[in-house]
Amino acid sequence: MLEMSDSTETFVDSMSEQAAAAVAKETIEFEEAFSLHHRTVFRAARSVVQDAGLAEDVTQEVFIKLYKHHESIDQEMLRPWLIRVALNEAKNTLRTKIRANNRDENYVKETVESSVFSVEDEFEEKAGISEINRALGKIKEPLRSCLMLKQQGLSYREIAQSLDLNETSIGTYVARARSEFMRFYGKVGRETL
């Protein structure tokens, strides 16, 4: 096995110590930057978003970016960099919030509009049904029953058997009932307008 000389061991130990010191220095630099500039970043963010909670979220995002890019940032330009990133992040947060609100508003508007149309359609349908019922109410028996049973799909023979009428007269009853219905339905429709 290869053995290191004392000078080599000392050199390796000093390299390890230097690496450890560099890591500790990075940590201290980040913590120091956080302590020194947190309030400034928070204020810059809050000036844009106008909400303390959102400003704190933006501040956290800014310091996460600082932690990731700490080595590439010139220490003299740290404060302006933090403020610029805070303002950009705050603007992005506002845009995202506005888009989300617009999506929510559009969804609510579409839902309300579709429900309004369905309510209007339902009202018109009920009004039409009540007009039909009024017109049918004015038709005398057995014409009305013959018409309704024919509309339900019964044959002349079935209608005659169910109403105890002559099968040959059912066609005439249905035709008369249809003409009376059209006459009364037309009058009812004109009266409501």
Residues 14 and 103 in one domain: yes
pLDDT at residue 61 in the model:
94
Residues 70 and 126 in one domain: no
Angle, helix 78-138 to helix 52-69, in steps of 10 degrees: 130
Residues 56 and 134 in one domain: no
Nearest CA among 81, 76, 49 for reference residue 62: 81
Domain encompassing residue 15: 8-107
Last residue of a domain, one of 107, 141, 169: 107
What is the number of structural domains in the chain? 2
Residues 88 and 174 in one domain: no
Nearest-angstrom CA–CA distance, 180 and 177: 5
| Within-domain flag for 141 | yes
pLDDT at residue 117 in the model:
61
| Within-domain flag for 81 | yes
Residues 47 and 83 in one domain: yes
The CATH number that applies at residue 152 is: 1.10.10.10
pLDDT at residue 41 in the model:
92
Cis omega (within 30 of 0) for bond into 142: yes
pLDDT at residue 65 in the model:
92
pLDDT at residue 12 in the model:
47
- Average confidence (pLDDT) per 10 residues, the chain, 193 residues: 52 53 59 90 90 92 90 85 91 88 81 66 76 84 86 86 86 90 69 35
3-state secondary structure of 191: helix
Give the model confidence (pLDDT) of 162-189 as tens digits: 888 888 888 899 999 898 888 888 754 4
